[in-house]
Structure 1
Amino acid sequence: MTLPADFHATALLAVMLSAVMHASWNAIVKIGGDRLSSMALIDTFCFLVALPMVFLVPLPAPQVWPFLLATVTLEVGYKLALVAAYNRGDFSQAYPLMRGSAPLMVAVVLLLTGAERLGVGGYAGIAMICLGLVSLVRWRNQSPDLMAFALMAGACLAGGTVIDGTAVKRYGEVFSYIAWLQLLSHIFMPSFAFSQRGRTLVTLFRREWKRAWIGGINRVGSYALMLWAMTMAPVTKLAALRESSVIFAALLGHFLLREPFDKRRLVATALVVAGIVTLQLAR
C-alpha cells in the first residue's frame, strides 16, 4: 500500500495522540478503588458523548452492521477481562501485557488472511515493539490469573482492531461507524455494574463524575483517532504504533500510582521506540 508521505505523518500523529489518550483512560480505571464501577462511569460518559453524534451521521449501511455487532461483543469481553486484570496486579504490569500481545495477534491474523502484507522491516519493527512491551512485565511476580485476563483482553482488542479496520477500509463510512460503535459499545458496562452495585454506583457517580468525564473523552477520542488513521495507512503498522501507549502508561504508573520505573523498563521503552522507528522506515 503506497500512500503520500504527508498521509503517513498525519496517521502517525493521530495514532500517537490516540496512544496518550488510551493510557490515560486506563490509568483512571486503575486509580478507582472499584474498577468495575470506574469502567461503568467512563462508559456512561462515552455513551452520553456518542448519543448526539448518531443524529449527525447517517445510519451505517446494512453490510456494516455485522462488523459493528462483532466489535461490540468483543468490547464487552475486553472490558470485563481488563477489569479482572487490574484487580489482580499493578497497572504497569497488566497494561503492557495486554497491549503488547495485541499487535502481534493483529499481524498474524492479517498475514494469514492475506489482508495486508509487510516487508521484513515491517515485521521486524512489530517484533521489537512486542518484545519491548512484553519485557516490561515482571513475570515471576505475577499470578497466572493476571496474565490470563491480560492476554484475553489483548485478544479481544486485536479482534476488534482487525474487524474495525476492515470495515472502514471496505465501506469508508468512518464517522458513521465511529458514532454508532461508541454508542452501542458503551451500553453493557453501566447496565452490568448497576445490577452488581445498585445505588452505590449512583453515589460514586456523584462523587467522581469529573474523573469519569475526563476518562470518557479520552476513551472516545482515542479510538476515533485510531479509526481515522486506519483510512490512511496499513492497519498492521498502526496497531503496533498505538502500543507506544505503554510508554505513557509506565510514566503514569510511576508518577500517579508510585509504581517503579527502573533500568529494565528504560531498556524496554528504548526497544519500543526503536521498533516504532523501524516500522515507520519500512515502506
Structure 2
Amino acid sequence: MVDWLIGLEGTDAGRQVAVGLALLAALAHAFFGALQKGRFDPWLMRGAIDIFYFLMALPFALFVVPWPEPHMWPIFAGVFVIHTLYKFLQAAAYTRGAYTVVYPVVRGTGPLFAVIGSGLVFGEHFTAGQWTGVAVLCSGIFGLALYNYRHVTVARDTLVPALGMAVLTGAFVAIYTTYDAYGIRATADPFTFLAWFFVVDGMVMPFVVARRMARLPSSDLVPLLKKGFLGALVAYVSFGAIMLATRVGHVGEAAVLRETSTVFAAAIGWLVLGESTGPRRVALMTMIAAGAVIVKLAG
C-alpha cells in the first residue's frame, strides 16, 4: 500500500487518485460538521471526538507503523500548536454564531489562502482558468453564508464577532492544510505521519473539557461519547483522505475540491436534518460544485 502510494507521487494517476481522496474528504467533513450540531456545545463535542481518536490511534502509532524519523518530532510539535489554535478558534466561532453562517465562511476562506500557501511553499501555481474556478467556488460559498446570514434568527447580536473568528479560522484551515502537506511529504511512510498526527492532535481538547464533561449526567454523557466515537471514525476519513491527497497530488487542488463539503453539508441538512433548501441555495450550491469542476478541468 505504501509503495503503491509513493509510486503515484507526481504522476497523472496520482492526481486522479488525489481528486477522489479530496472528494471523499469533503463528504466525510460534511458528516463531521453535522455531528457537531445538536444539544452538545462545540467544546464538549470536540473533546469527545478527540478522546476516541487519540485512544484508537495510539496503538497504531506505537506498534504498527514505522517509528518516525528524528526530524519529524519538531514537525509534530508544529502540528500540535497549529491544530490546537484552529480548534479553539473554530469552537469560539461556532459558540458565538449560527453554524449555517459560520461554517461556509470558514470553508470559503480556507481554500483561497491554501492555494496561495501551496504556491509559496510547494511552488504550485494555478492557471487563469483554475483561478476562475476558485472565484466561482468561493463566491458560491460566501453567497451561501450571506443568504443564511439574512435569514438566521438566533445569536444575531454575536454574529459579527463570530464572522471575524470564522475568517481567522479559515486562515488556520489553510495553514494546517499546507503544513500537514509538508509534514506528510517529509516522512518515508505517510501512515506514520497519519498515526502520530491523530495522537498529537487528540491530546489537548479532552483536558480542556474534562471538568465540564465530568459534570454531565449519564443521560447526557453516554450519547455524547457515542457521537464522539462516531465522529472520531469520520475524522480519520476526513483528515486522512485529504492528507494522502496532498501527498500524491497538488495541495491547492485538493484544498479547493475539499470545500465541496459545503454542498454535501447542505444536502445532509436537507435529507437528514430536515432543513429547508430553496432555489437560491440550490443555485449557490451549484456554483460551488461548478467552481470545483472548473479547477479540475482547467488544471
TM-score (norm 1): 0.91
Q: Does 1:200 align with 2:207?
A: no
Q: How does 1:218-229 map to 2 (within 5 A)?
A: 218-229=234-245
Paired residues, number: 282
What does 1:157-172 correspond to in 2, within 5 Å?
A: 157-172=173-188
Q: Which residue of 2 aligns with 1:47?
A: 54
- Partners of 1:41 and 1:201 in 2: CA distance: 15
Tell me the distance in 2 between the aligned counterparts of 1:230 and 1:104.
Answer: 16
Q: Deviations over 1:91-114 (max 9, x none)?
A: 222111111100101112233456
Counterpart AA for 1:66: P
Tell me by how many angstroms 1:225 deviates: 0.9
Larger mean CA deviation between 181-190 and 11-20 belongs to: 11-20
Displacement of 1:211 in angstroms is: 2.0
Q: In the alignment, what sits opposite 2:254?
A: 238
Match of 1:56 among 31, 49, 64: 64
Q: Mapping of 1:14-163 within 5 angstroms?
A: 14-54=21-61, 55-113=63-121, 115-138=123-146, 139-140=149-150, 143-163=159-179
Cα distance, 1:52 vs structure 2: 1.6
- What is the CA distance between 1:119 and its match in structure 2? 1.5
Q: Counterpart amino acid of 2:265?
A: A
Answer whether contact 2:133 2:295 (CA < 8 A) is retained.
Answer: yes
Percent identity, aligned pairs only, is 28
Could you say what secondary structure the match of 2:289 adopts?
Answer: helix
**Partner Cα distance (1:7, 1:270) in 2:** 27
Which amino acid is 1:42 matched to? I
- Counterpart secondary structure, 2:15: helix
Q: Could you give the per-residue CA deviations for residues 223-278 of structure 1, whole angstroms, max 9, x where no partner exists?
A: 11111111221100000000010111112233444444222221211111111111
Q: RMSD of the TM alignment (CA)?
A: 2.1
- Residue 183 (str. 1) matches residue 194 (str. 2): no
Aligned to 2:230: 214
| 1:150-202 Cα shifts (integer Å, max 9, x gaps) | 12221211111101112223434310010001011111111100134433287
Unaligned 5+ segments in structure 2 are 1-8
Shift in CA distance, 201/73, structure 1 to aligned 2, threshold 3 Å = farther
Query: For 1:267 and 1:206, how far apart are their aligned partners in 2?
Result: 40
1:274 aligns with 2:274: no
The residue type equivalent to 1:92 in the other structure is T
1:8 has 2:15 as partner? yes
Stretches of structure 1 lacking an aligned partner (at least 5 in a row): none
